[in-house]
Amino acid sequence: MDSRQWRASARISESRSWFRRMSNLSRFRQITLLSADAGNKQPAF
């Protein structure tokens, strides 16, 4: 495997982990927004 192929595969895995991180962030933000919304409404349970 030459350095060009290695660099390309490294970039691909990097972008993949970045996408995973961004999706995790957006999911976390959704959860915090939902819980904050629920806290403001003061649910019955």
Inform me whether the pLDDT recorded for 6 exceeds 80.
yes
User: Could you tell me the two tokens for 44?
Assistant: 């019955």
d(CA 11, CA 5): 10
**What pTM did the predictor assign?**
0.45
d(CA 19, CA 42): 34
At 33, the pLDDT band (50, 70, 90 cuts) reads confident
Q: Which amino acid is at 23?
A: S
* CA atoms 14, 15, 17, 21: torsion sign: positive
User: Which alpha helices (H) appear in the chain, and where do they start and end?
Assistant: 3-41
Per the structure, the complete domain to which residue 6 belongs is given by 1-45
User: Mean pLDDT over residues 19-42, rounded?
Assistant: 81
Inform me whether the pLDDT recorded for 3 exceeds 80.
yes
